[in-house]
Amino acid sequence: MVAARLAALKSTYETSPEFRQVVRFLFAGGFAAFVNWVLRIGLSVFLPFWLAVLLAYFIGMSIGYTLYKHFVFVNADKPESAKRQILVFLGVNFFSAFVVLALSVGLSELMVRLLPLMIAEAMAHGVAIAVGAVTNYLGHKVITFRQA
C-alpha cells in the first residue's frame, strides 16, 4: 500500500512541472520559514513580539528570495533588471508581512488566554507563517517569477 502510494507520488513528481515547483517551494519556503520562526523566538528575548516578528520575517525573506530565484522558479522570465525583480519581490513580501504580522498578533492575543505566553506566541507565529507562505507562493508565481 505504501509502496504504491510512493510510486504514484514519484510518477506525479516526474510528470508534472507544477508539482515539482510546489515541492521545491515547500522545501525552500519551509527552510526560510524555519529560520524566520527560530529567529523570532531568539529576538523576542530582546525585542517586543511584533518587532521580533517583523525583523525575523525580513531576514527569512532574504533567504527565501535567493532560494526561490535559484531553486524554485528557475524557468521564470528574466527580468529587465534584477533591481526591478527585487522590488516586485519586496512588494509581494510586504503584503505577506502584513498578513503574517496581523495574524501573529491577533492569534497570539486569542491563544494567550488559553496557553502560556511563549507557547501562544510560537503557535500563533507558526500558523501565520503558513498562511503567509500561501500568499507568497501565489504572488511570486504570478507576479515576481512569472513565466511567459
Specify the pTM: 0.66
Sequence-distant (≥ 6) Cβ neighbours of residue 133 within 8 angstroms: 29, 33
Q: What is the pLDDT of residues 7-51, one digit of tens each?
A: 666 665 566 788 888 888 889 988 988 998 899 999 999 999 889
Q: What is the pLDDT of residues 67-125, one digit of tens each?
A: 988 888 877 777 667 788 888 888 998 898 899 889 999 999 999 999 999 899 999 98
